[in-house]
Structure 1
Amino acid sequence: MVSFAQRMINARVRYLEKPLIACVTHQPSLRWVSGIYARFAYKTQSDMQFTRTRLGHGGLSVPAVWCDQGTPHRNGVILYLHGGAYTVGGAASHKQLAARLAGVCGLRAVLPEYRLAPEYPFPAGLDDAFTAYHALLAKGYEGGHIVLAGDSAGAGLAYALLLRILGGDLPKPRCVIAISPWADMQFTSPTFQDNKRAEMMLPHSWLKRARRMYLAGDDPASPFVSPINGDFTGAPPSLILIGGEEVLLGDAHKMAARLEQDGVEVALIVQPDVPHIWPMHFGQSAESDRAIDDIARFTRSQFNTPSA
């Protein structure tokens, strides 16, 4: 049974966030509004620390924020790729979640502020994520010290980055965490239509508009924008979390099936009665805190393997 606190969050998301996302069509304005909203909606804990930096490699660099909570007790880092349909989002809206994941996993976290559409369409965001990964390797992190993580479009971007890593014969990350992944820009999953009314946060109009801005004429079937079409043979384990009423529920199932087909270990958690990327509301509902615990348990299990 859904908690009372989660019901209050669900109402706020459905009747405030969703209409706001639908009506603000000017992306710079929506970025500003979402950053202001995040200050009130998402929890910053007293021991969280945020430090601006740049992640550079090969003459390229991307601005980023180190998002820490407490003192890490493992030599590892979460490379967190924020959501926002490739058009909004950044440290202002996602730094608290990145820091919380760092704290519960005993790692550091870094959040690249990759370039956004429509000013910078595909593959700018993927190029920036690839630069950030290279930069972490150059800083001395081994592939097995790096956790790829992201939410929504950022989760799709994490899998696109993983494809580029696998194709480039680079050291593989330890594991992947995908929260409410947008992994199919072709919108082929039945839930994209079937869950349209039940979806609490994402308006159809916004996803379609964001896809158009991000692709700028590129093929929506490309595995680098629709990773459900990729080949993940040899990839590290994944944890995928998705809300049971999301329009992206089918994306999560298809992504898990794709990984399983390629022989990759994957765990899929479907949580009913929660909105898109509900772990962002940690400290406010039992459902959100349970998701954070699931992520921590999965990540710690990966670092406790003999090869860690």
Structure 2
Amino acid sequence: MSREQREAIRQFRASSPLDLGGAVHEQRALFEQLLSHHPVPEDVIVTEAHYDTIPGLLVELAEEPCVGTVLYFHGGAYVLGSARSSLGIVADLARRSQTRVITIDYRLAPEHPAPAATDDAVRAYRALIASGVDPQRVVVAGESAGGGVALGLLAALSAVDEPMPAAALLFSPWVDLTLSGDSMTVRAEADFILNRTALERRVRDYLGDASATEQHSPLFADLHGLPPTLIQVGSDEVLLDDSTRLAARLVAADVSVTLDVTAQATHVFQSFAASWDEADAAMTRAATFVRTMVKP
């Protein structure tokens, strides 16, 4: 990563009026605007769809056969974002992996507190499998809070011994709502995307009761029986320890896991793949993982 690339991303974030710890209804519009500045490529088809009663978007390639399905959960600290706001990274993943990607509009807090997001993820996954899709041709994926939703889905499936997907792909997952990782402090100065104050407010929105933070943190769930997992994270993230501790817990649960850390990278840096060399390389690795896991 060149100094110029990193500085361009930092300036882009600094110039944005988005405040991840700000008033929800004001920030939702800003979040959508910030993440929708990349147009969907012409060779990508986006179709509205429902899985059970959960709305979402089906993202497919116009002229390439799809080799599998990715069920994707957007980021936004459990209170912001939408299936449409994730289209930039989703379309990139679909093109690189040659899969169809379904991105889900799970319910958001504070209107719908925990465990609404995870419940919606479970319902959408069950509906997808009930439609005839082979679970072994499915990868569950998510970014930031969406990574937490994806992990919560997998833990819920494991708890009732339901068919697992082929794999999981997690971009900078937020899986510890107790905010107890050392990187919350150690990486605070380096992280120009997230900060503890903003995350604390979003935890209150999502849970209400602070005593429930560990209960609703998928990091602390029983992770036995989960599928092979690729975790990508940047070394400059306050959420770095969410990924490193998750990888360690997956190893302890006998789950195959790859922890892919990119030096000096920021939160969900893969979304800058068009202008950041390391982000481009990380997306290629993620797509290769997906394609390998779903191929016949």
Judge conservation of contact 1:149–1:176 (CA < 8 Å) in 2.
yes
Taking only the aligned residue pairs, the percentage that are identical comes to 32
SS of residue paired to 1:182: coil
1:112-123 equivalent positions in 2, closer than 5 A: 112-123=104-115
Equivalents in 2 of 1:71, 1:138: separation in Å?
27
Equivalents in 2 of 1:55, 1:171: separation in Å?
17
Give 1:43 deviation, angstroms.
5.0
Partner residue, 2:19: 21
Q: Taking structure 2 as the reference length, what is the TM-score of the superposition?
A: 0.94
Q: Relative to structure 1, is the Cα distance of residues 290 and 182 closer, same or farther in structure 2, using a 3 angstrom cutoff?
A: same
Judge conservation of contact 2:228–2:257 (CA < 8 Å) in 1.
yes
Q: Does the alignment pair 1:293 with 2:289?
A: no
Partner residue, 1:39: 36
Judge conservation of contact 1:62–1:114 (CA < 8 Å) in 2.
yes
Judge conservation of contact 1:199–1:275 (CA < 8 Å) in 2.
yes
- Render the CA deviation track for 1:35-74: whole Å, top value 9, x for unaligned: 122232x353221221111111xxxx11111122344534
Equivalents in 1 of 2:106, 2:174: separation in Å?
17
Equivalents in 1 of 2:243, 2:62: separation in Å?
32
Equivalents in 2 of 1:163, 1:137: separation in Å?
17
SS of residue paired to 2:2: coil
Partner residue, 1:231: 222
Partner residue, 2:273: 282
Equivalents in 1 of 2:94, 2:159: separation in Å?
28
SS of residue paired to 2:88: helix
The CA RMSD measured in Å over matched residues stands at 1.7
Q: Does the alignment pair 1:4 with 2:13?
A: no
Partner residue, 1:66: 58
Judge conservation of contact 1:191–1:246 (CA < 8 Å) in 2.
yes
Equivalents in 2 of 1:180, 1:282: separation in Å?
15
Partner residue, 1:270: 261
Give 1:138 deviation, angstroms.
1.4
Equivalents in 2 of 1:252, 1:69: separation in Å?
31
Partner residue, 1:141: 133
SS of residue paired to 1:187: coil
Of 111, 136, 147, 2:103 maps to: 111
SS of residue paired to 2:161: coil
SS of residue paired to 1:186: coil
Q: Does the alignment pair 1:52 with 2:44?
A: no
- Render the CA deviation track for 1:127-185: whole Å, top value 9, x for unaligned: 11111101101111121111100000000110110001111221100100000011111
Equivalents in 1 of 2:165, 2:20: separation in Å?
36
Partner residue, 2:186: 194
Q: Relative to structure 1, is the Cα distance of residues 75 and 138 closer, same or farther in structure 2, using a 3 angstrom cutoff?
A: farther
Any stretches of 5+ residues in structure 1 without a counterpart? none
- Render the CA deviation track for 1:23-46: whole Å, top value 9, x for unaligned: 6x2212211111122232x35322
Partner residue, 2:157: 165
Q: Relative to structure 1, is the Cα distance of residues 3 and 67 closer, same or farther in structure 2, using a 3 angstrom cutoff?
A: farther
Higher alpha-carbon deviation: 211-220 or 168-177: 211-220
- Render the CA deviation track for 1:216-241: whole Å, top value 9, x for unaligned: 2161111xx31221222221100000
